[in-house]
């Protein structure tokens, strides 16, 4: 004699099927969201790594005249604003260079000496002509002092340094970078510091010269505000400056410079 399923058995089977379906959907969503977070994180890491490589190339193409004299127009300037883990604690660096690194092949200054200033700016910052639209790593570009003088000798009273914030609008290098920290090795005697972070310093006093090595640390944003494996690891590079030796003779501190361009930027 054949028996049919009872109503209770049908309801129980439906309930089990519903629970399994719900668990399957939740598992799929969790895996899908995890994959998306990881993909976003890796994308930001790749863009940050590209920006780091641009800075490394820019620092290696640092320019300093071969005339045996020290000049603040070509010195390396480090403004220490903190540990660099967020925009308002990020450092600012400034130096003179040649080549297309940072500025791009199509830039008018790529084939001439020019000065760059690199910093992290936060979305909404209104210190410059146009408000900053996205948090990230930015660069400001200035033609060489000698070229400016040759173009228009009547503009001697204009402040062409980066302190004149309206003159050079920041250009985005890479978004998603929320912090930047820079440390330096002042001289070759500290070469062992490549494997000892305590040897690197947050200050560089001789702004009419350049340091022996520069350590760059970038902090990237968590994808969509969420952490991947509890935090996002910073990216670090150490750069040996090729023209260190030729910049050293006669180097003095910024206090002896009547018109240096160092100093803190206004941050928001």
Chain length of the chain: 268
**Predicted model pTM:** 0.74
Give pLDDT, residue 52.
82
Rounded CA gap, 10 and 12, in Å?
5
pLDDT digit string (tens) for the chain, length 268 residues: 556 667 787 788 888 888 888 888 888 888 877 777 777 777 777 777 888 888 899 999 999 887 767 778 888 999 999 988 889 999 999 999 999 898 888 877 788 889 999 999 999 999 998 999 999 999 999 887 665 554 454 555 666 778 888 788 999 998 888 999 999 998 877 655 455 556 889 988 777 889 999 999 998 877 655 544 445 678 889 999 988 887 876 555 444 444 444 434 444 4
Helix (H), strand (E), coil (C) string for the chain? CCCCCCHHHHHHHHHHHHHHHHHHHHHHHHHHHHHHHHHHHHHHHHHHHHHHHHHHHHHHCECCCCCCCCCCCCCCEEECCCCCCCHHHCCEEEEEECCCCCCCCCCCCCCCCEEEEEEEECCCCCCCCCCCCCCEEEEEEEECHHHHHHHCHHHCCCCCCCCCCCCCCCEEEEECEEEEEEEEECCHHHHHHHHCHHHCECCCCCCCCCCCEEEEEEEECCHHHCCCCCCCCCEEEEEECCCCHHHCCCCCCHHHCCCCCCCCCCCC
d(CA 32, CA 164): 48
Chain centroid, CA 138 distance in Å: 7
Q: HSE of 72 in the Cβ direction (CA atoms, 13 Å)?
A: 16
| pLDDT for position 116 | 93
The pLDDT value given to residue 117: 94
């Amino acid at each position: 004699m054949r028996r049919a399923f009872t109503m209770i058995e049908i309801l129980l089977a439906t309930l089990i099927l519903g629970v399994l379906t719900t668990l399957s959907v939740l598992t799929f969503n969790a895996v899908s969201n995890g994959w998306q977070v990881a993909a976003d994180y890796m994308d930001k890491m790749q863009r940050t790594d590209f920006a780091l490589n641009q800075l490394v190339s820019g620092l290696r193409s640092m320019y300093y005249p071969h005339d045996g004299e020290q000049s603040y127009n070509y010195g390396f300037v480090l403004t220490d604003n903190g540990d660099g883990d967020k925009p308002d604690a990020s450092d600012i660096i400034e130096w003179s260079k040649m080549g297309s690194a940072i500025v791009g092949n199509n830039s008018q200054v790529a084939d001439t000496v020019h000065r760059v200033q690199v910093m992290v700016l936060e979305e909404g910052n209104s210190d410059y002509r146009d408000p900053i639209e996205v948090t990230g790593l930015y660069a400001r570009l200035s033609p060489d002092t000698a070229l400016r003088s040759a173009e228009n000798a009547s503009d001697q009273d204009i402040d062409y340094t980066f302190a004149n914030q309206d003159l050079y609008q920041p250009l985005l290098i890479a978004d998603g970078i929320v912090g930047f920290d820079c440390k330096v090795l002042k001289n070759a005697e500290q070469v062992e510091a490549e494997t000892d972070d305590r040897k690197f310093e947050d200050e560089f006093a001789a702004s009419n010269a350049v340091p022996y090595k520069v350590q760059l640390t970038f902090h990237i944003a968590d994808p969509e505000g969420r952490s991947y494996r509890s935090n996002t690891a910073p990216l670090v590079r150490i750069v040996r400056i090729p023209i260190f030796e030729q910049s050293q003779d006669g180097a003095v501190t910024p206090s002896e410079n009547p018109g240096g361009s160092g100093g803190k930027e206004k941050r928001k």
